[in-house]
Structure 1
Amino acid sequence: MATSESGSDQTSSALSDSFRTPYYCEENVYFLCKKLSASGTAAADGSDLFVVFISNEKKQTPLWNQKASKRADGVVLWDYHAICVQRKKEGDTPLLVWDLDSSLPYPSPLTSYVSETFQPSFQLFSEYQRFYRIVHAPIFLRYFASDRRHMKDSAGNWTAEPPKYEPIVAEDGAVHNLNEYNEIHAADVMTNAGDFLNAVFTQRLGAVINENQLEEFFLKMP
């Protein structure tokens, strides 16, 4: 699998394939952040990593170049999606996206990922507009929890086979708060850059921005 930075293709392949469970993107990104830090690909404390939840009020979020798609253009209408953005302090490509469900190079530079996955030139109806909740990885790893209840139907049957490992429990004992991360509304968008930056680095649920702010936030981050 190709990478967009110098390093071992085997390392990227191992990070992408060893723990991914289809349709459990929030758990996949949780363990991805841990593995990137443990492997030395990211800072040991995960301080250069950010978890990004993508959704909208309609819970119908179009993303292109997704492995789950059966279309040539790879488009999928996810209810929500979660990816990892790495902001490296050194190197030719300081902003990288790690998307375990993407068919793009792994990782991809943020600019090309945005272009190929969000297709900004494609005019969406307003109800399909995407919003982004950004959470600093060290905070996410402490507070995120999921007992996978969202993946069962009304009869209690799995809608997709769950991971083999035990569900994720937060440090504070919470067993499920995924809904707090993937529920994203236009009214949640923060417009003041200073307030947004502070929330990302201090708040359990980070902060929400719109698509026009996404690249700008990471580029202008101090």
Structure 2
Amino acid sequence: MKWKGRRQSSNVEDKRGGSGSSRGIGGFNPMLLGPLIKLLFSKTGLIIVAVLLVFSFITGNNPISFLGNIFLGGNSQPASTESYQGTAEENIQAEFSATILASTEDVWNTILDNYQEPTLVLFSGYVTSACGSASSATGPFYCPGDQKLYLDLSFFEDMERQMNAPGDFAQAYVIAHEVGHNVQKLMGTMDKVNRLKGQLSETEFNKVSVRLELQADFLAGVWANRSQRMTQMM
């Protein structure tokens, strides 16, 4: 594919190499748990809680976060502010992904009025989304709760080595497929399928889910066809 030098999407969140701070308060010391519980249920602890509630009401700060900073020795921020340094090959794949996402934006903005562009989240190992936590083993996925698609770039290597699906176009199709789910969300198709979950048997709902995936493949094909006509990138 002739993708180098083309526009890259700005709708990309690079969370590769994350320290896992999204799980909550970091630096937890289990040795402090017992004393903390005793303190909170003592008369002194009740006074501290009351003061914190007043403090929270006045300042708007989260008293739980404040307690975490005092007793657990952590905070809600990542332990390191250094940017992630990927390998040269991985960084090229990140640029490629941002370029393909930009191509899907160009295509779907010409097809759908008021198209809402999704965000691509690059992660390594695990990630937390509005749909819950997921690991690299989950594979690429789209979360309708936050309208983001999640991708661990190691999946491209798995495609080549384990699935015998190498090449730029195969990788681009993966991204376009997840963007297809975003189109389904905007068109209301995904919500209709989700409403059927409690109305159909597991077998019947699985059939509908397969159709949803096949339609996302079709929408990825729409992108490929329109993108080739627009830019001759293939």
Q: Settle same-fold status: TM greater than 0.5.
A: no
Structure with a larger share of its residues in helix: 2
TM-score normalised by structure 1 residue count: 0.23
TM-score by length of 2: 0.23
- Greater percentage in strand: 1
Larger Rg: 2
